[in-house]
A = this chain, B = another copy of it.
Amino acid sequence: MPVYQAPVADTLFILNDVLGFERYNNLPGFSDATPDIVEAILGEAGRVASEVFHPLNQVGDREGCTRHADGSVTTPAGFAAAYATFREGGWGGLSADPEYGGQGLPHTLSAAVNEFISSSNMSFAMYPGLTAGAIAAISLHGDETQKRTYLPNMIDGIWTGTMNLTEPHCGTDLGLLRSKAAPQADGSYKISGQKIFISAGEHDLSENIIHLVLARVEGSPEGVKGISLFIVPKFVLDESGKPGTRNGVSCGSIEEKMGIHGNATCVMNYDEATGYLIGEKDKGLRAMFTMMNEARLGVGIQGLAISEIAYQNAVVYAKDRIQGRSLSGAKAPDKKADPIIVHPDIRRILLTIRSINEAGRALVLWTALKGDLSHVADDEKERQAADDWMGLMTPIIKGVLTDKGFDNAVMAQQVYGGHGYVAEWGMEQFVRDARIAQIYEGANGIQALDLVGRKLALNGGRAVQAFFAEVGAFCEEHRNDEKMAPFTKGIHKGSKDLQQATMWLMQNAMMKPDNAGAASTDYMHMFGLVALGYMWGRMAKVAQEKIAAGANGHTEFLEAKLVTARFFMERVMPETAAHLARIETGSDTMMAMSADAF
């Protein structure tokens, strides 16, 4: 069975030493997040992830979810008890509004905890993950009555939530959706239609399921401007606010899919189900979009999470499996062969994964911190800058960390040779589970288009300019620091490539939007590499300072940071040049072929 140990020390290094979490202790939420509290929370989250959720990961994959004839759904053995543990631990309310029963801690902490739980059991983590999305939607767009009615039980976890967007004929292009909402005399609506790919759509973990559903009010315009968002509870609440009558929504079937078998991916049928408009009529899509940053960050974290557990298990095997000898002479002459970690090609794989994970974790936490600051920073300018960063980095984190997360899971599986292909060892499950993160919550091609088509030009390019300025200042600051040269050189080169690509886009994509589309995926990955490289620069600097200050017993940890940072610059960053070369060839060739000729 695979192992899992939450990367608590690495998370604390990022929060305390790289991000200087304590600096913000005058801000709401942060004041309660003292270093001791943070360490205790992460330690306990890691423990629960390893001991409670992780042992169910393979079980969940094997058993999957079962839909019964009456439309009810049973989750895999042990999931209900584990969910009770999750709920009792208050994990769902960690950073929720204290007004409605939450603990009000920074979202940055939730992001860290979310990584641990997703690593240990991604399918399980999705149940509370979807609830968090629904909580965000109601918090942002619900009226006060709706908040008081739904949030406390959802934050407690006794009720869960879902997001219902996709229909058989429409995913990315929600303007095509057909689900209908018929206004009723009492102000409610009757919702009818079919939704597909609904994660956690039906299950046995909670007393009620609060579905958030996109539908078109009768008479509203076609396209995206006629879509509204509705609350549709599985059980309509009675007068005391308790689950009462069963609503006209049911699970029609569970999809058979490649992975995340422990999560019920449902076809949901709405048949005149009672729903309540949330936010403005016909403005449902905007309501969806405002909460997407959070959901997409969450999916990016899944990419990181699977990559982390895959890495840990690849390392275990690489140290344990003996096979062949080191090219530079036997390293374990007492054994019949050397452990395969002696081989450079195995180390190449392990360090590639590790260098992306550790920088990815820094980027996620950095961005989650910006998300917090965008709400609670004292200064309007700081809030805006934080919001800019958050908006810019969200598609990058979603797209890049899930693409890399999948690639990394595949590479980690490769370390196992034939054993990696066999279910028993668990490596192939990581690959199958990781795959969905590239697809849902906006396929990665859509993230790339969001970046080049929207985020780049937003507010006159303010966010991207601020990013380049920050990275440039960092390189400039350490320009004459010889020990920092291996890192600043790589960052500078990557950043130059990225700026050149950005310039190329400005000059070539305005008049010819296909050039933007043709560049989008390469550009997103390129941006991701520079952002990850910048994280490595910051981490390397801190590691050097701490080593110079005596390392305080963490020498091996800090030295490993420096090796991994160098590896990233040498082996991962060079890809920016290939991305740039591709981008600059434009769209002419790919558009030259007629659709029929494909």
> What is A's interface to B at a CB cutoff of 8 Å?
166, 170-173, 175-176, 196-197, 255-259, 315, 318-319, 323-324, 327-328, 336-337, 339, 341-348, 350-351, 354, 406, 410, 413-414, 417-418, 420-424, 428, 431-432, 435-436, 438-440, 443-445, 448-449, 453, 512-518, 520-521, 556, 559-560, 563-564, 566-567, 570-571, 574-575, 577-578, 581-582, 585, 587, 589-598
A449-B346 Cα distance, complex, nearest whole Å: 12
**Nearest-CB residue, chain B, relative to A559:** B597
One of B258, B318, B567, B577 near A590 (C-beta < 8 A): B567
**Nearest-CB residue, chain B, relative to A319:** B595
A232-B438 Cα distance, complex, nearest whole Å: 47
Question: Do A315 and B414 have beta carbons less than 8 Å apart?
Answer: no
**Nearest-CB residue, chain B, relative to A312:** B598
A432-B444 Cα distance, complex, nearest whole Å: 20
Question: Do B257 and A347 have beta carbons less than 8 Å apart?
Answer: no
A520-B257 Cα distance, complex, nearest whole Å: 36
One of B346, B414, B563, B591 near A444 (C-beta < 8 A): B414
> Which among A422, A587, A598 has the greatest number of chain B C-beta atoms within 10 A?
A598
Residues in B whose Cβ lies below 8 Å from that of A423: 255-258
Residues in B whose Cβ lies below 8 Å from that of A351: 589-590, 593
Residues in B whose Cβ lies below 8 Å from that of A328: 512-514
One of B421, B574, B597 near A435 (C-beta < 8 A): B421
CB distance from A342 to the nearest CB of B (A): 8
One of B257, B319, B422 near A257 (C-beta < 8 A): B422
Known pairs A258-B432, A341-B595, A345-B521. 14 more at Cβ < 8 A? A171-B418, A175-B337, A256-B423, A258-B422, A258-B431, A327-B514, A344-B514, A346-B445, A348-B518, A351-B589, A414-B444, A418-B439, A428-B435, A556-B597
Question: Do B418 and A327 have beta carbons less than 8 Å apart?
Answer: no
Interface SS majority for chain A: helix
Residues in B whose Cβ lies below 8 Å from that of A348: 518, 521, 590
Question: Do B590 and A582 have beta carbons less than 8 Å apart?
Answer: no
**Nearest-CB residue, chain B, relative to A350:** B598
**Could you list 9 A-B pairs, sorted by A, with CB under 8 Å?**
A255-B423, A256-B423, A258-B422, A344-B514, A344-B587, A432-B432, A567-B589, A567-B590, A577-B578
CB distance from A496 to the nearest CB of B (A): 14
Contact A172:B327 (CB < 8 A) given known A347-B593, A585-B571: no
A197-B425 Cα distance, complex, nearest whole Å: 14
**Nearest-CB residue, chain B, relative to A445:** B345
A305-B42 Cα distance, complex, nearest whole Å: 47
One of B566, B574, B598 near A578 (C-beta < 8 A): B574
Question: Do B424 and A324 have beta carbons less than 8 Å apart?
Answer: no
Residues in B whose Cβ lies below 8 Å from that of A343: 445, 517
One of B428, B448, B521 near A258 (C-beta < 8 A): B428
A165-B591 Cα distance, complex, nearest whole Å: 49
Question: Do B347 and A591 have beta carbons less than 8 Å apart?
Answer: yes
Residues in B whose Cβ lies below 8 Å from that of A591: 344, 347
Question: Do A431 and B435 have beta carbons less than 8 Å apart?
Answer: yes
> Which among A406, A566, A578, A587 has the greatest number of chain B C-beta atoms within 10 A?
A578
Question: Do A577 and B581 have beta carbons less than 8 Å apart?
Answer: yes
